[in-house]
Structure 1
Amino acid sequence: MPLVAPDVERLFTAGTWYDCGRGLSATVTNLPAAELSLPTGQVAACDPFVGLGDDVEPFVEVVDPGTYPVVLSVVEVAREEDPSFAHERVAAAWLKVSEEPTVRWSLALTEGQSAESLDDNEFYGYGVDAGTGCFVDAAGTIPLGDLLDEYGEPLADAMYGEESMNCLPASMTDDEGRYQFVAFPSGWGDGSYPTWVGHDESGAVTGFVTEFLIVPQPGRESAA
């Protein structure tokens, strides 16, 4: 059985507290948001600093073109025996497509992937090598990748400057104003992270959530 989907509602409720084990706890403290334009409705997710380009595969589910909020679940991670350890991390990022209640979350798949081929607690996800994730319209990955090659340093400074992490969404738009991505720090940093797709009672897509495996979830052997 693939990795069990997270409790998204709890993950995006301010004040939610998690026992992370090993003397660590995490509390949802902030839910900052930014708007993302999806001119074609082909949703993709990747590490923008290393992943944008013609090899980014969109998820199978396509949404109506439009502009949608990307909301971050920011948690304060604390250590009981060391108050100075407390700091913030992004636990998840939610691209909210609909306000309809989500009745089912499942792994967001790209063409050729099948959840049935996964073993217990396995998942498909995207690799992170620069401590950053993003949501993006798949049609804009090439121009945005070219733009990031030229102007990536200011974005990195905005997100990680002054030796501290800024747990806020950051966006970049191509020179013609057509395509955009919304980026965010990826939990503990580099690794591979799953994205989940939600559906309402009618089967319509309600959103996508990239989870950074910071906090434990019911039905799993471990949080990471």
Structure 2
Amino acid sequence: MRHVVKGWLLVGLVAALAACAQGSPGAGLSSAPPPMPEVTPTIGPGGVSDEVTFTPCPRATSDPSRTHLQPQDAPADPRTDGEMWAQRDGPLLVEDAGDLLLVDGLLGVDTAGAVFDGRADGHIQVASTTVTVPITLQVLDSAYSGRRVTFVEAQISPDEPARWESADDLWILTDGGDGGYLAPADAVRALDALAMIEPSVEAMHRDDGVCAHRRSWLDGPVDAVLFPIGGGDGLYPTYLGRDSDGDLVSVVTWGDMTPWTTSGLPGTPPPDVDG
């Protein structure tokens, strides 16, 4: 099935998604997410920053040990391929987006706009204590239409996923074509969200990039990773990968631009995926 929706349909989807989330939360998620922690950041050697800072993610090929994403299929050319996945018009790259510090083991997934103030409508407990997880992007590197993010992964464990399930509370509904993974926290040092739009977008797309780091205090760790997702406005699903024992090992958001199979993710695909 195709997940991307456009325009005014988003309004109806918001209500529908909220109703579904209340009635049938994804396995491993509760309908009442855990409260966001009060965090007092450790101040870096330079003291407290006056504002949130955004910097481009270093563009580097991800080490296979840091991700389950391993693109398999050769891309198609939209000028000759008339199938529904004809958007595959360039090579699929796996790029390391750095490490994300998750305070109290909480991972938030939302639009980039919601990430600005350190909160996310959807978040999940991925560990019982504060942990650092690697974030990886699968990027469609097109000579015709630019660089676009097709998959995002937070690797919780290097253990191999055996199956995937939908995390309804973590789907990204965006009218700006952006998303973010973050450490939810009420006490991050954030400014007015409007003041952060320009610097975050500039950092995300500098030098043809597709990723930005947010730090909420000077010399602090990365507390959010921002990225454009898929083809723009739409609803983008997030899935949980579990190993053979049922333990959470991966969180993945699908940009719905290339088939699930192109991700190379091991394990049984989610039941609602048709490609």
Q: Cα 1:127–1:144, aligned 2, differ >3 Å: closer, same or farther?
A: farther
Aligned: 1:43 with 2:102: no
Query: For residue 212 of structure 2, what is the aligned residue in structure 1?
Result: 170
Query: For residue 33 of structure 1, what is the aligned residue in structure 2?
Result: 97
**Greater shift after overlay, 176-185 or 92-101?**
176-185
Query: Partners in 1 of 2:273 and 2:165 — Cα distance?
Result: 18
Which among 162, 165, 171 is matched to residue 106 of structure 1?
Answer: 165
Contact 2:95 2:136 in 1 (8 A): yes
Which among 74, 97, 118 is matched to residue 17 of structure 1?
Answer: 74
Greater fraction strand: 1
Residue correspondences, number = 194
Query: For residue 153 of structure 1, what is the aligned residue in structure 2?
Result: 198
Partner SS for 2:185: helix
* Structure 1 unpaired stretches of 5+: 4-8, 78-83, 111-123
1:131-167 deviation per Cα after TM superposition (whole angstroms, max 9, x unaligned): 2211112235x73664644333222112235xx7412
Query: Partners in 1 of 2:259 and 2:247 — Cα distance?
Result: 28
1:56-83 deviation per Cα after TM superposition (whole angstroms, max 9, x unaligned): 3334443242111100001134xxxxxx
Which among 237, 258, 263 is matched to residue 194 of structure 1?
Answer: 237
Partner SS for 2:160: coil
- After TM superposition, the score normalised by the length of structure 2 is 0.59
Query: Partners in 1 of 2:119 and 2:97 — Cα distance?
Result: 27
Aligned: 1:87 with 2:146: yes
Contact 1:97 1:206 in 2 (8 A): yes
**Greater shift after overlay, 145-154 or 29-38?**
145-154
For 1:100, the aligned partner's letter is D
Contact 2:99 2:134 in 1 (8 A): yes
Identity %: 22
Superposed CA RMSD: 3.4
Query: For residue 209 of structure 1, what is the aligned residue in structure 2?
Result: 252
Contact 1:61 1:205 in 2 (8 A): no
Partner SS for 1:139: coil
In the TM superposition, residue 188 of structure 1 has moved relative to its aligned partner by: 1.2
* Structure 2 unpaired stretches of 5+: 4-63, 262-270
In the TM superposition, residue 193 of structure 1 has moved relative to its aligned partner by: 0.5
Query: Partners in 2 of 1:107 and 1:200 — Cα distance?
Result: 15
Query: Partners in 1 of 2:98 and 2:254 — Cα distance?
Result: 17
